[in-house]
Structure 1
Amino acid sequence: MTIDRAKLHILYLQIRDDQVTRREELQEFARHGQLDEKQFAVLNVFDQPNFAPDYADTYDAVFVGGSSDASVLKPDQYPFVQSAKQLLKHCVDQAIPVFASCFGFQLGVEALGGKVIHDPKNMEMGIYPMQLTSVASEDRLFSDTPDQFLVVSGHKERAFKLPPHTQLLAFTERCPYHAFKVMDKPFYGFQFHPEVDHHDLAARITRYQDRYLETDGALQAILNNLHPTPESNRLILKFVDRILLQKR
């Protein structure tokens, strides 16, 4: 059966507390997925921290974004962490497609039985070369992605152990777990930001520099190293086309 992409209805689990980035991130997902913003139903967890695991049942997919304001390791401080983990576990159980970026990746790792750690020594902030694993060549999203490509990455926490029944798809020199898929399920997690391109990065890192950059000149160093990230950004469209619309 052919699915009309204009009729896709996606639950967007958003973990942003400032209005500028809320709007910006939605635009990014819509732009790179070639979707209309109106196709996304936004559930911002700062506004609605409690929700049922089956909240996503009436949607075609769930997208989960990043966060500059929360930690999956502090559920007492951020009560929405538990609700979000339960929702993602439910999505796996019910085979609801999930595209989880950065904070969403970490939620997925913890929800499905893996482990996330705080690792500021190996923080990534900027544009980095990504390396694919051997199994990525057989994956629906990564099969035609070059073995090495550039991505936008920004995190101080990372996966220490992936959940069982998952496949590692990508890694960097600093971060051994950057993309995974749940085996036989339409669930993808990305520690990097497929929704963010180099223009978006310049705006966001300038806005958030006081939170992430501790040394003089760090902002300028990132801005001096901006490069397009088309293969990374293209993953969102591939997910829409190849997972939600089942096209190759």
Structure 2
Amino acid sequence: MDALMKRRSDLRLLLMQIRTEAKVCDEEHRSFASYSGLAPEQIDILNVFQTPTFSPGAAAGYDALLVGGASEANVLEPARYPFVHQCEKLLRHVVTTSLPTFASCFGFQLAVLALGGRIEHREEGFEMGTLAIRLAEAAREDPLLHDTPDGFAAVSVHRQYAAQVPSGCERLAFTEQCVHALRVSGKPFWAFQFHPEVDRATLVERLTHYRDHYTEDAGHLEQVLTTAQETPESNGLMRKFVDRILLS
């Protein structure tokens, strides 16, 4: 092995977190670490609710940037959540510097806006639960998705969505409703509308916790939870990101 090649234990990542509740913050941090194959101590946190103003170069010195989801914020309300524009600046910076980036859900929406795309809102009939994700043509040559089966299961809960990818990006995966994965062309930058860091057990935990935010009533919640599936292909993407991009 090349003497200059990093070992897994050498990696240090930054997680940009957009959450307020300590229990969910901790669960998200540990989920990212677990599915990356890293120790939680290898992933530092920039919580934008706690630190709404930060430099576009905040991820400098790290091996990669991770961006998580959010249930307490809306990318379409930057006046209410002023850190949205700060996050966009950071994402444009990591694209420019080619820092490897892996974004999930809210992070996907931030990436679309940062790259000049459009995010739309759906108040009713939005995706929630375990979905079948279709692969686009570009996925055949993608380092992370080329060996992922078409129609793989993934967890997704979101009211905001993108119907198209921004200019300069490749559409990698989708559902009938929206785009679910993109890559910035020629850059180590991936964003997923679904949650690669969330498995069935975590979906049940999160939806139960946020039931008033996402579900109409107890019957609706029960319907979503009883149809939840395991999502091994989705959960494996973070390990592929570490192995194939950061350690290759």
Q: TM-score, normalised by structure 1?
A: 0.97
Whether contact under 8 Å (2:144, 2:237) holds in the other structure is yes
| Partner Cα distance (1:216, 1:44) in 2 | 32
Task: Percent identity, please.
Answer: 48
Name the structure 2 match of 1:197.
Answer: 199
1:154 aligned onto 2:157: yes
- How far the C-alpha of 1:152 sits from its partner, in A, is 0.1
Name the structure 2 match of 1:110.
Answer: 113
Name the structure 2 match of 1:34.
Answer: 37
Q: Equivalent residue of 1:146, what SS?
A: coil
| Partner Cα distance (2:224, 2:164) in 1 | 29
1:174 aligned onto 2:177: yes
Equivalent positions of 1:81-100 (< 5 A) are: 81-100=84-103
Q: How many residues align?
A: 245
Whether contact under 8 Å (1:113, 1:162) holds in the other structure is no
Moved more, 50-59 or 116-125: 116-125
Name the structure 2 match of 1:76.
Answer: 79
- How far the C-alpha of 1:226 sits from its partner, in A, is 1.7
Q: Deviations over 1:106-149 (max 9, x none)?
A: 00000011110112234111001010011101100001100110
The one-letter amino acid of 2:184's match is V
- How far the C-alpha of 1:216 sits from its partner, in A, is 4.3
User: Of 8, 16, 20, which aligns to 2:11?
Assistant: 8
Whether contact under 8 Å (1:126, 1:152) holds in the other structure is yes
Q: Equivalent residue of 2:205, what SS?
A: helix
Equivalent positions of 1:50-61 (< 5 A) are: 50-61=53-64
Q: Equivalent residue of 1:107, what SS?
A: helix
The one-letter amino acid of 1:134's match is E
Name the structure 2 match of 1:223.
Answer: 225
| Partner Cα distance (2:134, 2:163) in 1 | 18
- How far the C-alpha of 1:165 sits from its partner, in A, is 0.8
Moved more, 160-169 or 150-159: 160-169
Q: Deviations over 1:198-239 (max 9, x none)?
A: 000001100000011114411100111121100000000000
Name the structure 1 match of 2:124.
Answer: 121
Q: Which runs of 5+ in 2 are unaligned?
A: none
Q: Equivalent residue of 1:121, what SS?
A: coil
The one-letter amino acid of 1:27's match is R
| Partner Cα distance (2:14, 2:220) in 1 | 35
Q: Deviations over 1:30-75 (max 9, x none)?
A: 0111100000110100100000101111111000000000011111
1:242 aligned onto 2:244: yes
- How far the C-alpha of 1:9 sits from its partner, in A, is 0.7
Q: Which runs of 4+ in 1 moved over 4 A?
A: none
User: Of 201, 210, 213, which aligns to 1:211?
Assistant: 213
1:66 aligned onto 2:60: no
Q: Which runs of 5+ in 1 are unaligned?
A: none
User: Of 169, 185, 189, which aligns to 1:187?
Assistant: 189
| Partner Cα distance (2:97, 2:232) in 1 | 32
RMSD: 0.9
